[in-house]
Amino acid sequence: MAGSISTVDLFCGAGGLTHGFEQAGLPVKAGYDIDPACKFPYEHNNNAKFILQDVEDVSGSDLAEHFCGSRIKVLAGCAPCQPFSSYSRRYDDRESKWKLLQDFARLAYECEPEIISMENVLQLKHHPVFQEFIEKLENLNYFLESYEVNCLDYGIPQSRKRLVLLASKFGKINLIPPTHDAKRYETVRKTIEHLEPLCAGQTSKTDRFHQCSRLSALNLRRIRASKPGGTWRDWSKDLIAECHTKKSGKTYPGVYGRMEWDRPSPTITTQCFGFGNGRFGHPEQDRAISLREAALLQTFPADYEFVAPAEPVMFSRVGRLIGNAVPVKLGMIIAQSILAHIQ
């Protein structure tokens, strides 16, 4: 059956969604993204072609070339979610950023794939641009269903909730039932405890992505004063940042925190390599989590490569690739749901 299906991944990033699709047996022909840093990890780790192009400039005829010869066309993707987050909406850059979802709908109209999958932040469902997206697909006679997915319910070891929209010309697509309950949630311990210990600023000799950022003398004191699951409120006054003594800063207790071994991690973001950027402190070692640990928490395989061997590993670049990715296992869940629907 796989030979009769083709998938195109819009906003493909480093390939989290594509890798999950391929692991589930749903073939992907190509991925589109505007970030050139995505080309190496996308093509090196996946059996798909990377195309450096703004989705705004992609046409239905471009996609038709990838779908040629396939009985069932699948259009998938995750429009960059920052425009729809609670934080970003304060800046209201809707004209330039929210058009991404409109271009997704335009491409669906131009090539009418049999199946569409769109993943994004939960906040999107409360915005008019999402309702417009729904209406356009309904006008094309798609059967639609949207799901609020708790990633913990599907074996992803981080607190991450996502909106998954599934549309089909054949009928309603049911998301496969949860694979984990609260007693069986994956944990930080099970995911990263086996990796070799590191000091702040150190790199593993066997895995160059298992490296962590340096800590200033002050932040080293802070992490030593931190306990798993605790906050900066546990520190002595001389360690507390000035911004947290102000009224606006008192509502952010999660920054400068350690993860807990026997609980899932917080949502992995593009700044997950920084101790001060969230609860990204290692549960036990005096450092922030490494890039490889962040990738494992995003359910990337342990050998997933993000940068070509001849290129340096830059925290900002690799952190962006990891944090922006769809968790691989969530991609698998979506693909398995699509395949069960087709069967």
pLDDT of residue 263: 97
Question: Which range of residues forms the domain containing residue 7?
Answer: 2-180+326-342
Total domain count, the chain = 1
Query: CA of 312: how far to CAs of 9, 200, 270, 306, in Å?
Result: 27, 18, 18, 10
**Residue 137: φ, ψ to 5°:** -70, -35
CATH of the domain at 47: 3.40.50.150
291 versus 250: which is more confidently predicted? 291
- Residue 17 included in any domain: yes
Q: Which of 43-51's residues contact partners 24+ apart within 8 Å by CB, and which partners?
A: 44/305, 44/308, 45/15, 45/19, 45/301, 45/304, 45/305, 46/15, 46/18, 46/19, 46/22, 47/22, 48/9, 48/15, 48/18, 48/22, 50/12
- Residue 189 included in any domain: no
pLDDT digits (tens, 9 = 90+) for 152-171: 999 999 999 999 999 999 99
pLDDT digits (tens, 9 = 90+) for 69-94: 899 999 999 887 654 444 343 334 44
- Residue 122 included in any domain: yes
- Residue 331 included in any domain: yes
pLDDT of residue 88: 40
Q: Is 81 among the residues known to form the active site?
A: yes
**Mean pLDDT for the stretch of residues 94-99:** 60
- Residue 140 included in any domain: yes
Share of the chain above pLDDT 90, in %: 78
pLDDT of residue 248: 45
**Mean pLDDT for the stretch of residues 244-273:** 79
Q: Which of 81, 111, 151, 212 is catalytic?
A: 81
- Residue 190 included in any domain: no
pLDDT of residue 100: 84
- Residue 252 included in any domain: no
pLDDT of residue 207: 98
**Tokens read off for 298:** 């995003």
**Tokens read off for 261:** 């071994």
Across the chain, mean pLDDT equals 90
- Residue 219 included in any domain: no
**Tokens read off for 3:** 């030979």
